[in-house]
Amino acid sequence: MTPQVRELAALVAFPSVSSAPSPALRACARWLVDKLRRLGARDARLVETGGPPVVMGSVGQGRSVLIYGHYDVQPAGPASAWRSPPFAPVVRDGYLYGRGASDAKGQLYAHLAAVERLGARLPCRVVFVIEGEEEIGSPHLPAVLAAHAPYLASEVAVVSDNAVLGPDRPSLTYALRGDLYLDVEIAGAHPELHSGNFGGAVANALRVLVRALASLHDAGGAATVPGLADDVVVPPPAERRYMRTTGPSDRELRAEAGGAPLAGAAAYERATIRPSIELAGLTGGYTGAGIRGVIPARARAKLDVRLVPRQDPERVHRQIFARLAAAVPRGLTLTTRERMRAQPVLLPRDHPAARAAVRAYRRGFGVAPVFVRAGGSIPVVSALAERTTPVLMGFALPDDRAHGADERFSLAMLAKATATSAAFLEEIAR
Amino acid sequence: MTPQVRELAALVAFPSVSSAPSPALRACARWLVDKLRRLGARDARLVETGGPPVVMGSVGQGRSVLIYGHYDVQPAGPASAWRSPPFAPVVRDGYLYGRGASDAKGQLYAHLAAVERLGARLPCRVVFVIEGEEEIGSPHLPAVLAAHAPYLASEVAVVSDNAVLGPDRPSLTYALRGDLYLDVEIAGAHPELHSGNFGGAVANALRVLVRALASLHDAGGAATVPGLADDVVVPPPAERRYMRTTGPSDRELRAEAGGAPLAGAAAYERATIRPSIELAGLTGGYTGAGIRGVIPARARAKLDVRLVPRQDPERVHRQIFARLAAAVPRGLTLTTRERMRAQPVLLPRDHPAARAAVRAYRRGFGVAPVFVRAGGSIPVVSALAERTTPVLMGFALPDDRAHGADERFSLAMLAKATATSAAFLEEIAR
């Protein structure tokens, strides 16, 4: 490992899972403060939020460029699914493996490395804002941005938390889907009952939940919630043609998804300009080994709903609740609880900051980037858009397995990302 | 506690869960061998099966009466649902609380106490067969019955593993539903994927499982599997009238189920002469705290199917598989695995053994019993029926919460059951 890869591995080694808080979050934040101080950010510090702290610090002088990052990561999921432990990063075949390597510690680290490389030649003031709650919807960040508005004031905010199309196909993301994450619960009217004595005679809370969830989609998997499509704005034909020409093909997305058939053609459109309702988890009744003859008294599910521009999370929540409730008979109780909300985002492609980013990618990758839409959500982007112009400069690869087992970050991409970040700081300062 | 209650509590204290094997099973079996020896069964011993051992032993001389019991119990389920720990039996308000107190250690213990009470006056040879795998479908018992056929030969086999209608309403069970317990799994074509990047573009294994399971019932909760009703024999009108007159009313079943509304009228019929498909458990995707944005790669469910006379478990399994498979798109894999099978049972009500049982209940309870159908299943009964005449003499109460939290056995019923068992041994020997 080079010294830089070793340093990135140290950052990835923190099990900074925000949905299951542990001291690792604060330890990771302290590590970043130390790193910023070594880069010359004498004002680097932790800002308390009530949750994991936000790391802030600034380097250099001149026009301000805000660089946003997050040090928290998704849960690792089942350890058995990983080839090497998720928080013991190792390099194999040119990739650093570990939870958060790609999403987004590797991408954040490229900016730190760029500032280090520029050193005294840094032509602007770079102010870092690195939070620890991105993966749970950034509940505290908007207030922190407001409280520190003068310190953070900038014309542009760089966010690197998404993917390019390939190692030689840089791309600049101009649209994100929004996110609405719901916990759904059906509580039965009965305690848990013997499935022999009562099978067929009482309402089964788990069966009712299954029936309610099944009503959200048609046989082909398309969402069928009444009203859901009302606020969906389909992009104009010219933009859809551009998407078809420049975006990932079905074949590429199929490879990225593990090689199996997709749910239909035009997967890039399905995953970006259309809303989706995914069932992310479900549990109810007896799930242990062997058999237990019971009629469950309650059951829970997690719905991950992705929204496109103009859709309002609150309205969509009401529509989904109504659809689920229609399948719940009297005597059983349906509860939904919003666990995360992110607004959909559509950014201008002709802003000077976007043009500077295009030039920076050309310098860093040797080829001009295309503009792409992303299916994922970055909750903070809509908060940033209220104060400055976000620029979404992703450095992940489509097969990095963000959120999955064996997540990784390409070391070749680390080099290109560092060069692109340094180039952007030079371009924006011109 | 009386010495007998203390002894029953010691029996209930063994966490002899057959679906999660532990040394407690063998320890419980040894305890029973010791007890049988103290009753005079010098031949009491463990019979090895490959699973938990079967306890055998005989007391007395003359006509043989086989008494079947089981010392294994259901899993306790979540500890938090119990008012006192499931395997630390305590007496409260005239009930002994603990997993297995009612199903069926308390009922077995009544027979042991009856033999003890009769002592030298025991008018027949009682041979005990007590297995440790009833709750997982008695996989080894049929072979044990065959291997020890001469030793076990008897005209009648008493099985006490079900409920009477109430403390003053004794009943004799003449029909049991069969059971088919299936593990169902959908394996997706993809690894676990990011629900932002791929939401709407790939088939979600959990969503497909939910859709497949929802196709098993109509909106009212009635099973809608094609062919399922073909082999269902509805009892003649006279028998249904008898059931309405003597069986539990909707009001009683409602109280027994915790007081909430039932799924419809005629619950006693729904739970006995009609088949049912209950979803006993389901798990898939992320089920931990907080949020994780994933499209699950696989999902699993447990189906508990209750069958009525003439239905064949194997045929029903094929019908359910076909129904589920119709909802599974190409590229995903449906697997079902039979975990338990019990044939439905219909016993003659005019057999001399049944008549002896009627007289015994009258002596033990002071009131004549009625004949009832049970919704539950006792896998061993069809195996016993091939060799002898089973008599189902239950001593549980409907609100004993068998299989649920806070399972209990009434001490008043223990006294009546002991008297009834002793009376039966006298009546059958006449």
The confidence score (pLDDT) of residue A148 equals: 96
The confidence score (pLDDT) of residue A260 equals: 77
CA angle at A107 for the pair A106 and A113, rounded to the nearest 5°: 85
Q: Best of B138, B224, B282, B373 to disrupt the A interface by mutation (most A CBs within 10 Å)?
A: B282
CA distance A228 to A329: 23
CB-closest option in A200, A261, A374 to B270: A200
Contact A338, A137 (CB under 8 A): no
Q: Is the Cβ of B288 closer than 8 Å to some Cβ of chain A?
A: yes
pLDDT > 90? residue B382: no
* CB–CB contact B135 A291 (8 Å): yes
Contact B164, B394 (CB under 8 A): yes
Which amino acid, one-letter code, is at B365? F
Tell me the average pLDDT across A218-242. 94
CB-closest option in A163, A181, A401 to B291: A181
CA distance A216 to A305: 11
Backbone phi and psi for residue B429, each to the nearest 5 degrees, phi listed first: -85, -10
ipTM of the complex: 0.84
CB contacts under 8 A, A 149-178 vs B, are 163, 177
* CB–CB contact B287 A281 (8 Å): yes
CB contacts under 8 A, A 360-379 vs B, are 374-377
The alpha carbon of residue A210 is apart from the nearest alpha carbon of chain B, in Å, by 5
- A349-372, pLDDT tens digit by residue? 999 999 999 999 999 999 999 999
Show Cβ contacts of residue A259 under 8 Å, excluding neighbours closer than 6 positions.
Answer: none
Percent of chain B clearing pLDDT 90 (strictly above): 85
- A111-158, pLDDT tens digit by residue? 999 999 999 999 999 999 999 999 888 999 999 999 999 999 999 999
Percent of chain A clearing pLDDT 90 (strictly above): 85
pLDDT bin (cut points 50, 70, 90) of residue B264 is confident
Of A371, A340, A300, the C-alpha closest to B196 is A340
- The encoded tokens of residue A245 equal 């020409």
Alpha-carbon torsion (A379, A380, A386, A388), positive or negative = negative
Mean pLDDT of chain B: 95
Contact B92, B400 (CB under 8 A): no
Q: In what order do the strands lie in the sheet with A95-97?
A: A90-92, A95-97, A408-410
- pTM for the model stands at 0.84
CA distance B106 to B381: 19
pLDDT bin (cut points 50, 70, 90) of residue B210 is very high
The alpha carbon of residue A5 is apart from the nearest alpha carbon of chain B, in Å, by 26
Of A14, A18, A41, the C-alpha closest to A28 is A14
The confidence score (pLDDT) of residue A430 equals: 85
- B95-108, pLDDT tens digit by residue? 999 999 999 999 99
pLDDT > 80? residue A87: yes
CA distance B90 to B5: 10
* Distances in whole angstroms, Cα of residue B407 to Cα of each of A192, A299, B17, B233, B285: 11, 22, 14, 34, 32
The confidence score (pLDDT) of residue A18 equals: 96
